[in-house]
Chain A
């Protein structure tokens, strides 16, 4: 059983399109994250949800909208895709607050290519 699973793994699309990436975790964690990793492997946090509530919202364009229907799912919707959105997007989960030992569990990533 995959602990954190994201779909799709690869996404190739045209500029201006809208796309979504889905993430699910079966670890019973209450906190989920979206990270963006650029071509130089630099990792940047985008959003964090705790039990369906947004707790981190970094400086990310409004075109990016996370949605958490329940604490096991965190989806990412991107409107009006731009070339600069090309990256690998990682979903991750962890426990929250003092229960957070710093161990995040990552999905395998979704590679988005915008043409």
Chain B
């Protein structure tokens, strides 16, 4: 079946550090890939997405590239801020599963000033 695997957290970085959160997936077809972010005390919200191989999603300085050859969708940011502290979820959806989202376990990111 389809699945999403994320690096385990928490990930602790200093402000202005470079961020990578790894995400790999298994899927039977051609999924769309997503990163959601959950700020403390809030619900999840879509951060970025990519719908086909080699697409790059970007938003708020975050980027992720859909790599079919490595089945990965790693999240990156060049210079993190304290306000980026949150839990980040990688997810996929595809037609074979009627577009239901399959979620990773979430990675908690802590940014220290």
Q: Which A residues are within 8 Å of any B CB, using their own CB?
A: 4, 40-43, 45, 48, 56, 90, 92, 97-98, 100-109
Contact = CB atoms under 8 A, between A and B. Distances in A.
B42 interface: yes
B49 interface: yes
Given A41-B87, A41-B108, A97-B98, A90 B93 contact: no
Given A42-B106, A43-B103, A4 B38 contact: no
A103 B105 contact: no
Contact of B43 (A100, A101, A108): A108
B43 A109 contact: yes
Nearest to B36: A104
B43 A106 contact: yes
Interface string B90-112: 01010100111101011010000
Interface residues of B, number: 24
A103 B45 CA distance: 8
21 contacts: A40-B105, A41-B87, A41-B105, A41-B106, A42-B105, A43-B106, A45-B100, A45-B101, A90-B44, A97-B98, A98-B99, A102-B34, A102-B99, A102-B101, A103-B46, A103-B49, A104-B36, A104-B44, A104-B101, A105-B45, A106-B45
A106 B108 CA distance: 19
Contacts of B42: 108-109
Contacts of A43: 44, 89, 103, 106
Residue of A41, A42, A109 with most chain B CB atoms under a 10 A cut-off: A41
A56 B43 contact: no
A1 B55 CA distance: 33
Interface in B26-72: 32, 34, 36, 38, 41-46, 49
